[in-house]
Amino acid sequence: MAKGSGLSFDPDRIGLFLHKPTVINSLLHHQEDKKGKHHNNYRRHLYYHHHHKLKQEEAPAAFMEMDSASAVVNKSNNNSRSSPPTTIQFPVNLNCSTHDDDQDDGPLPHNNSDHHQEMDFFADKKPKTDESKAATIPHPDADTKDLSGPTELGFNVNTGLHLLTANTSSDQSIVDDGISPHSDDKRTKSELAVLQAELERLNGENLRLREVLTQVSNNYNNLQMHLMTVMQQQPQQKQDHIKADNIGEGQEGKLPLEDNNNKHQQNSHGLMVPRQFMDLGLAAGATVETDEASLSSSEGRSGRERSRSPTNNVEASTGGSDGRDDSPEKGSQGWVPNKVPRLNSGSKNVDQATEATMRKARVSVRARSEAPMITDGCQWRKYGQKMAKGNPCPRAYYRCTMAAGCPVRKQVQRCAEDRTILITTYEGNHNHPLPPAAMAMASTTSSAARMLLSGSMPSADGLMNSNFLARTLLPCSSSMATISASAPFPTVTLDLTQNPNPLQFQRSPNQFHLPFPNAPQNFVGNPAALLPQIFGQALYNQSKFSGLQMSQDSDAAHLGHQVPQLPPLHQGQQNPLADTVTALTADPNFTAALAAAITTIIGNPQSTNAANNSSLNITTNTSNNNGSVTTSNNNSNGNNKVLNTSFPGN
């Protein structure tokens, strides 16, 4: 089941995602949790009767529709150091141009069959293109049609928020003209002619710009990939030398090779994007710092190994003996168990610590979905399921299987409070090329993680972490995200559940909520694609406000690309919230993208549609709780279902 559909990469990043996600619906039968005292073993396995391979049918869910909840994660902040956040490419594309969704207004009664939106997200392939166009055209932006018309690139590229601006202006002018037949026809005509000429010019320019933008984006993407690859490799090599002693896992040594191999594969395949390393853990950042190697290497080490051999060295030599390492999947890269071993840290130094932190960084996405999993474009293999304390719903553990040894894992669990809410937590960095659909999510999560880590950076003020991040994030996204940079697992929670009542969020001091007037109704497109931008914006803001250097040079390189894109959202507006909101809402692309993003991510569009006010919530939570803490939030919130996604804890 866990498969994302295989995707081919469309070199044109901006292009529509071709990917067609399979919709998985299986029902979780809900049973009462047997009881707390039992061992894990006993508690598990209760659910997922079906669970098996993607079935399209939706189970009549037993899920009750509940109001949205916002999740708040509480954890202590104590991150050790994290490297400054760096880049990440935010796919600007947001094909979202397809904001179609006009229709969603109605309660979408689709039950089973409507995968439509989700499908749109990934699937929009060529066939859909037409649709998207159509959708787009009707849009207020009259110009869009013009834009779309000319080149294929046209529709897809939403990237140009700027462009829109131009268009809109032109539109208005046109409209005005038409509207007002004045006495001076001549004058009017002349003006009209001028305006039309101007419009044409603008359109032409717009097209050119789009093409350029597309080109640039592609180039950038490629460069970034290469850079990432290089960075990845170097550190590893370093580590080999440095860490050889301690670690001795042997896996590390492999990594470089793997990378190379991967590259080759990429080349051969061509479809895939030049290797991307999405690092939730800020791998990139770490890289900058130099340790990065740790990433891969660290990742490489399997938790098991750790556990088994506290002393790496010994194990290393013998360790292979287990044979676990040997296995391609595990061995090559190993999963790093979440628990970061503090073992070596002492000598291992900072690098490892950083590494650990990075690795741990998690991004959880809360979305309403009846589907067992959200389609994120990746292929996942389930490796475990367990009953989590305090939640009758089992938690499923998945690993990325798109590439052997990919360290990325995710946990999927339904919110105890509201079973319609599916909480997906991502951890780790992909060490392989990702299909566009997957990239969207990966970049999103990596961005979020980066933000998280950046905020948690030792260098940065502790204060800055929570509130500051929240503020910075919010303006752009108006979504609720909970950021907890807590010790065990710094986690960013993206709450994509719709929240009818913004006020609910106010409860928590740290949280911000901005309603998104426009966005909500329409969905289609790629939510995931959108998110990265949101976070990117957040990062941008953060750096901007805090004066925090977006970190390192290397980052700068990335940021240089990314940041520029972001500003458009704010264009002109100085007020953080109001203006931003206005600007955002005004921007059809953005709203559409947002809506699309939300919808897409959510496995089940229905629920999404159902809610009129969709909002993307970003909340920052600074509270410090131990990982063990089971969220206090749950208790605290009666109505609101506040979910605690503190992962370690639940």
Partner DNA sequence: CGAGTTTGACCTGCGC
Partner DNA sequence: GCGCAGGTCAAACTCG
**Which positions touch DNA (CB under 7 A)?**
1-3, 36-37, 39-42, 44-45, 48, 50-53, 302-304, 306-308, 310, 322-324, 327, 330, 334-339, 341-343, 379-390, 395-397, 401, 409, 411, 488-489, 626-628, 630, 647-650
Nearer to DNA, 30 or 50 (CB): 50
Shortest separation between residue 64's beta carbon and DNA, angstroms = 23
Return the one option of DNA, Zn ion, none that residue 433 interacts with (CB less than 5 to 8 A, by type): none
DSSP H or E stretch at residue 380: strand 380-387
Are 524 and 595 spatial neighbours (Cβ–Cβ below 8 Å)?
Answer: yes
**Could you tell me how far CA 410 lies from the centroid of its own chain?**
13
Return the one option of DNA, Zn ion, none that residue 406 interacts with (CB less than 5 to 8 A, by type): Zn ion
Return the one option of Zn ion, DNA, none that residue 386 interacts with (CB less than 5 to 8 A, by type): DNA
Rounded Cα–Cα distance for residues 21 and 128 (Å) = 14
Nearer to Zn ion, 275 or 430 (CB): 430
Q: Token pair of 24, please?
A: 């998985």
Shortest separation between residue 434's beta carbon and Zn ion, angstroms = 7
Return the one option of Zn ion, DNA, none that residue 402 interacts with (CB less than 5 to 8 A, by type): Zn ion
Shortest separation between residue 487's beta carbon and DNA, angstroms = 8
Are 582 and 99 spatial neighbours (Cβ–Cβ below 8 Å)?
Answer: no
Nearer to Zn ion, 400 or 474 (CB): 400
Shortest separation between residue 60's beta carbon and DNA, angstroms = 18
Nearer to DNA, 46 or 534 (CB): 46
Residue 107's contacts (CB-CB under 8 Å, 6 or more residues apart) are 609, 610
Return the one option of DNA, Zn ion, none that residue 650 interacts with (CB less than 5 to 8 A, by type): DNA
Nearer to Zn ion, 406 or 485 (CB): 406
DSSP H or E stretch at residue 41: helix 40-43
Nearer to DNA, 387 or 611 (CB): 387
Nearer to DNA, 94 or 340 (CB): 340
Shortest separation between residue 66's beta carbon and DNA, angstroms = 22
Return the one option of DNA, Zn ion, none that residue 348 interacts with (CB less than 5 to 8 A, by type): none
Nearer to Zn ion, 402 or 452 (CB): 402
Return the one option of Zn ion, DNA, none that residue 162 interacts with (CB less than 5 to 8 A, by type): none
- Which of 216, 165, 215, 173 is closest to 195 using CA atoms? 173
Q: Token pair of 594, please?
A: 């947002």
Return the one option of Zn ion, DNA, none that residue 3 interacts with (CB less than 5 to 8 A, by type): DNA
Strand partners, 426: 363, 410
Nearer to DNA, 128 or 304 (CB): 304
Shortest separation between residue 269's beta carbon and Zn ion, angstroms = 15
Number of C-beta neighbours around residue 8 at 10 A: 14
Shortest separation between residue 124's beta carbon and DNA, angstroms = 24
Residue 144's contacts (CB-CB under 8 Å, 6 or more residues apart) are 97, 136, 137, 167
3-state secondary structure 248-262: CCCHHHHHHHHHHHH
- Which of 540, 536, 530, 538 is closest to 588 using CA atoms? 530
Are 610 and 386 spatial neighbours (Cβ–Cβ below 8 Å)?
Answer: no
Nearer to Zn ion, 402 or 597 (CB): 402
Return the one option of Zn ion, DNA, none that residue 324 interacts with (CB less than 5 to 8 A, by type): DNA
Residue 572 burial by CB count (10 A; 0-12/13-18/19+): exposed, middle or buried?
exposed
257 three-state secondary structure: helix
Ordered alpha helix ranges (H), 244-311: 251-269, 283-289, 293, 299-300, 303-308
Are 116 and 608 spatial neighbours (Cβ–Cβ below 8 Å)?
Answer: no
Binding site for Zn ion (CB under 5 A): 400, 402, 406, 408, 430
Shortest separation between residue 296's beta carbon and DNA, angstroms = 16
Q: What are phi and psi of 88, to 5 degrees?
A: 125, 140
Return the one option of DNA, Zn ion, none that residue 380 interacts with (CB less than 5 to 8 A, by type): DNA
Shortest separation between residue 9's beta carbon and DNA, angstroms = 18
Strand partners, 484: 491
Nearer to Zn ion, 72 or 400 (CB): 400
Shortest separation between residue 356's beta carbon and DNA, angstroms = 11
Are 523 and 602 spatial neighbours (Cβ–Cβ below 8 Å)?
Answer: no
Are 199 and 522 spatial neighbours (Cβ–Cβ below 8 Å)?
Answer: no
Return the one option of Zn ion, DNA, none that residue 471 interacts with (CB less than 5 to 8 A, by type): none
Shortest separation between residue 301's beta carbon and DNA, angstroms = 10
105 CB-side CA count, 13 A: 5
